[in-house]
């Protein structure tokens, strides 16, 4: 489970309008998400501006439709165990498993130009700060729903 | 009796002359098959039951143990059996009418134009004049041909010798005559010498008588003239002794002359007779008649016996008929008779042609040509008549060839033409034979068709081969092939097989493999049949092995089996159509549901460009079945796309 924090206010919540009921609902949801994050090990990144989560990140949902998590500015923080690292050129594909869900693997892209504060090693747990985005393949087609690691620290 | 005897001898000699050059070809293993007489009406009898041409009677039991025929003048004597038209020669028996050499010679004769050139006419006139000249001496036994006549005959023969068609035989005969005359002249000279010797002997004897008388008188008066006579008597005795020696010497000389004359005469006779026999063997009957008639005027001692070994073939040939020793007159008679027979044969040919009896005309002409090729009547036989006989002969040859090739339709066609040309031609035996063979062949084809319908390919092939062997050009063989195609097209089993194969129902074919086995008769269907059976057996084997492996691990086994089946289907699309394999795939699919679902989700996501999701799905599939090649390959492929993409 992961939380989404927005650098900007609003997001999908804002699209629904600015009624009091909505605000209350969002606050209640945020409280619930916070409780869930605290319970599931997904941490807030220090320094990142707090944002009220609009939806929870479930790997099953990501497998079905990853691009739905690729709204601009969304950051996802995962606490996971490195199961595999595949290096292609300077880039790495890191597959992590989330605690309590060992049958799932979440692939994260660590671009070569990202300098991490720690060395990623297989079998160790790290906290990954990621953004979900859509890239462009060499043939011009879209490469949707890619989780790109912006930062990581050992847990 | 005499005619038959002479005919046999003449035929034997005629064939012998031809055989000298040509028989070795025939007897060297390539002896022709017997051919019927009578214009080919008995052709079928030349073949055995299997249709094969009969062999020459090389092992005639009646000839077993017989010693090889002796040689005469460097030539072996062939003997002809007129009842079968065969000649026994050098241990083999040959059919005259079917001898390749005889046929070739006869065909050559038919193609030649009549010898009517002015030169030829001059030659024939010359020979006829000689015959007339010698005929008088033959008719009147008291008439003696003088040396002038003999010289004229000899000169005419030398003149005839210049004609190319004469073959130098006139010159040979003339030379033999000259040799005989030379011997006679030498003998005459020796007779003169002997007469002179007789006179000398008589004179010596007279002289000796006188001396003896003188000596007797002197003996009586010896005492009176003792001294005088003593010397004279001494001389007289010496002279007597010398005279006696001279007489003895002359008598010996006379005896030697006599012996030499007799020996030379005998040698001259043998030489002349051998020339006559040689000419006779070459069928130069005009020359034989001339030489025989001149003989008694060349050798006037009345001895006409032929000096041939009685055990030789010529000696036997002459003595067997009459029981008498062979003579020059017998040669004359045989040659004269041959001339007459040949002329009669040619006359018979003309008569037969006038009545459109081509078969008989052909037979008569073959006999005439075989015996008297150099006779005037044969050499001048008209071109038109030759052409007609050549046509008939060609048909007869075609019938013979077609029969050997078992082309019965052609045989019947030729027989019909021969019947048109020859009113006497009896084609019943020929037609009976061909009809029988044709029916036999058709029956074999019918049996083959039955075997085909019963799906018995082996019997079908046997019967078809039999039908082709009996009558290779049987038109029903082609019809059989057409029928085969029709049956093929209409065969419900083959049709069903084709349909099942087309829609990929291999399992049904395999389930009824025994029923569909009949399609093996068609080479194309046989290949398909083999393909189906092989494939089904292979799939069954693979599924069996897979089942065993899958049961070893209830969690990973179905995943492994599913992935293996997918791999096989990619390798061979025929697997994807197999029902058993499809059932197995569905079964393993349900057992490895999560794994299969992950792979499917991955594929769908990949197709939509959801590479993050796709990679996640492949990882999930890999979690379910770590050994998955499909997942591994998907991860590699999708990772490659992700890392090479550019991101904002």
Each residue's pLDDT tens digit, B395-410: 888 888 888 888 888 8
Instruction: Give me the pLDDT at residue B186, please.
Output: 87
Instruction: Give me the pLDDT at residue B40, please.
Output: 36
Q: Which of B605, B637, B645, B646 is most worth mutating to test chain A (most A CB atoms within 10 A of its CB)?
A: B645
| pLDDT confidence bin for B266, thresholds 50/70/90 | confident
ipTM surpasses cut 0.90: no
Each residue's pLDDT tens digit, B232-253: 777 777 888 888 888 888 889 8
Burial letters for A32-53: b for 16+ Cβ neighbours within 10 Å, e otherwise?
ebeeebeebbbbbbeeeeebbb
Of B534, B497, B490, which is closest to residue B512 (Cα–Cα)? B497
**B485 interfacial to chain A (CB closer than 8 Å):** no
Of A58, A1, A57, A54, which is closest to residue A26 (Cα–Cα)? A54
Which two three-digit tokens encode residue A45?
A: 């990144």
Å from A47 to nearest chain B CA? 22
B29-36, long-range: CB < 8 A, 24+ apart:
B30/B100, B31/B55, B31/B56, B31/B58, B31/B92, B31/B94, B32/B56, B32/B94, B32/B95, B32/B98, B32/B99, B32/B100, B33/B98, B33/B404, B34/B95, B34/B98, B35/B95, B35/B97, B35/B98, B35/B400, B36/B97
> Between residues B425 and A16, which one has the greater pLDDT?
B425
pLDDT(A44) > 70: no
Instruction: Give me the pLDDT at residue B235, please.
Output: 76
**A63 interfacial to chain B (CB closer than 8 Å):** yes
Q: Which of residues 588-617 of B touch A (CB under 8 A)?
A: 601, 605, 608-613, 615-617
pLDDT(B345) > 60: yes
| pLDDT confidence bin for B254, thresholds 50/70/90 | confident
Q: Which of B594, B599, B612 is most worth mutating to test chain A (most A CB atoms within 10 A of its CB)?
A: B612
Instruction: Give me the pLDDT at residue B227, please.
Output: 62
**A62 interfacial to chain B (CB closer than 8 Å):** yes
Inspect the interface and report whether the beta carbons of B647 and A146 lie closer than 8 Å.
yes
Instruction: Give me the pLDDT at residue A124, please.
Output: 92
Instruction: Give me the pLDDT at residue B93, please.
Output: 56
Instruction: Give me the pLDDT at residue B611, please.
Output: 94
pTM of the model: 0.46
pLDDT(A108) > 60: yes
Average pLDDT over residues B213-234: 72
């Amino acid at each position: 489970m992961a939380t989404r924090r927005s650098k900007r206010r609003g997001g999908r919540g804002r699209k629904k309008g600015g009624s009091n009921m909505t605000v209350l609902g969002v606050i209640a949801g945020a409280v619930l998400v916070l409780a869930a994050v605290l319970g599931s090990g997904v941490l807030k990144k220090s320094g990142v501006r707090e944002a009220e989560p609009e939806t929870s990140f479930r790997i099953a949902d990501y497998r079905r439709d990853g691009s739905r998590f690729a709204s601009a500015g969304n950051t996802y923080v995962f606490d996971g165990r490195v199961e595999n690292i595949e290096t292609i050129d300077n880039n790495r594909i890191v597959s992590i498993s989330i605690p309590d869900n060992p049958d799932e693997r979440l692939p994260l892209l660590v671009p070569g130009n990202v300098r991490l504060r720690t060395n990623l090693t297989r079998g160790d747990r790290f906290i990954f700060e990621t953004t979900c985005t859509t890239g462009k393949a060499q043939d011009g087609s879209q490469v949707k729903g890619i989780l790109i690691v912006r930062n990581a620290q050992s847990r | 009796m005499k005619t038959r005897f002479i005919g046999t001898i003449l035929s034997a000699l005629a064939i012998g002359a031809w055989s000298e050059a040509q028989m070795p070809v025939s007897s060297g293993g390539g002896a022709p098959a017997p051919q019927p007489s009578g214009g080919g009406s008995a052709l079928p009898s030349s073949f055995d039951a299997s249709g094969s041409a009969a062999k020459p009677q090389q092992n005639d039991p009646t000839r077993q143990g017989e010693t090889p025929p002796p040689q005469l003048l460097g030539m072996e004597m062939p003997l002809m059996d007129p009842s079968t038209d065969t000649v026994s020669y050098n241990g083999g028996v040959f059919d005259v009418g079917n001898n390749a050499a005889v046929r070739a010679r006869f065909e050559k004769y038919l193609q030649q134009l009549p010898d009517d050139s002015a030169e030829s006419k001059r030659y024939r006139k010359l020979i006829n004049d000689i015959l007339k000249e010698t005929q008088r001496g033959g008719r009147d036994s008291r008439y003696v041909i003088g040396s002038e006549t003999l010289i004229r005959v000899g000169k005419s023969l030398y003149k005839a010798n210049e004609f190319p068609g004469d073959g130098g035989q006139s010159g040979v005969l003339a030379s033999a005559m000259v040799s005989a005359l030379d011997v006679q002249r030498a003998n005459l000279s020796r007779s003169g010498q002997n007469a002179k010797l007789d006179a000398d002997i008589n004179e010596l004897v007279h002289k000796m008588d006188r001396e003896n008388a003188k000596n007797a008188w002197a003996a009586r008066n010896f005492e009176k003239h003792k001294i005088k006579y003593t010397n004279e008597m001494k001389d007289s005795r010496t002279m007597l002794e010398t005279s006696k020696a001279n007489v003895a010497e002359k008598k010996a000389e006379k005896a030697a002359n006599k012996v030499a004359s007799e020996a030379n005469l005998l040698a001259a006779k043998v030489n002349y007779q051998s020339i006559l026999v040689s000419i006779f063997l070459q069928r130069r009957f005009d020359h034989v008649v001339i030489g025989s008639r001149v003989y008694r005027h060349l050798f006037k001692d009345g001895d006409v016996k032929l000096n041939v070994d009685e055990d030789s073939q010529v000696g036997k040939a002459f003595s067997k008929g009459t029981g008498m020793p062979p003579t020059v007159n017998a040669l004359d008679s045989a040659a004269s008779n041959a001339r007459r027979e040949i002329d009669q044969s040619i006359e018979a040919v003309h008569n037969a042609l006038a009545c459109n009896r081509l078969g008989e005309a052909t037979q008569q002409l073959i006999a005439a040509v075989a015996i008297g090729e150099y006779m005037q009547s044969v050499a001048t036989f008209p071109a038109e008549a030759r052409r007609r006989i050549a046509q008939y002969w060609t048909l007869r040859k075609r019938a013979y060839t077609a029969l050997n090739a078992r082309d019965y339709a052609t045989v019947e066609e030729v027989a019909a033409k021969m019947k048109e040309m020859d009113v006497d031609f009896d084609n019943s035996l020929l037609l009976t034979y061909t009809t029988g063979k044709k029916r036999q062949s058709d029956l074999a084809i019918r049996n083959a068709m039955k075997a085909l319908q019963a799906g018995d390919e082996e019997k079908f092939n046997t019967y078809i081969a039999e039908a082709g062997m009996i009558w290779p050009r049987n038109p029903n063989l082609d019809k059989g092939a057409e029928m085969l195609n029709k049956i093929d097209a209409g065969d419900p089993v083959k049709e069903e097989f084709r349909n099942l194969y087309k829609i990929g129902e291999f399992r049904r074919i395999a389930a009824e493999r025994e029923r569909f086995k009949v399609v093996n008769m068609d080479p194309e269907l046989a290949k398909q049949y083999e393909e189906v059976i092989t494939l089904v057996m292979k799939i069954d084997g693979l599924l069996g092995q897979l089942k065993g492996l899958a049961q070893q691990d209830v969690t990973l086994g179905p995943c492994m089996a599913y992935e293996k089946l997918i791999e096989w289907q990619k390798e061979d699309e025929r697997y994807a159509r197999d029902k058993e394999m499809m059932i197995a795939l569905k079964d393993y699919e349900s057992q490895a549901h999560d794994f299969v679902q992950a792979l499917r989700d991955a594929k769908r996501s990949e197709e939509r460009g959801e590479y993050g999701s796709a990679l996640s799905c492949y990882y999930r599939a890999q979690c379910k079945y770590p050994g998955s090649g499909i997942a591994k390959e998907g991860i590699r492929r999708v990772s490659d796309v992700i890392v090479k993409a550019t991101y904002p």
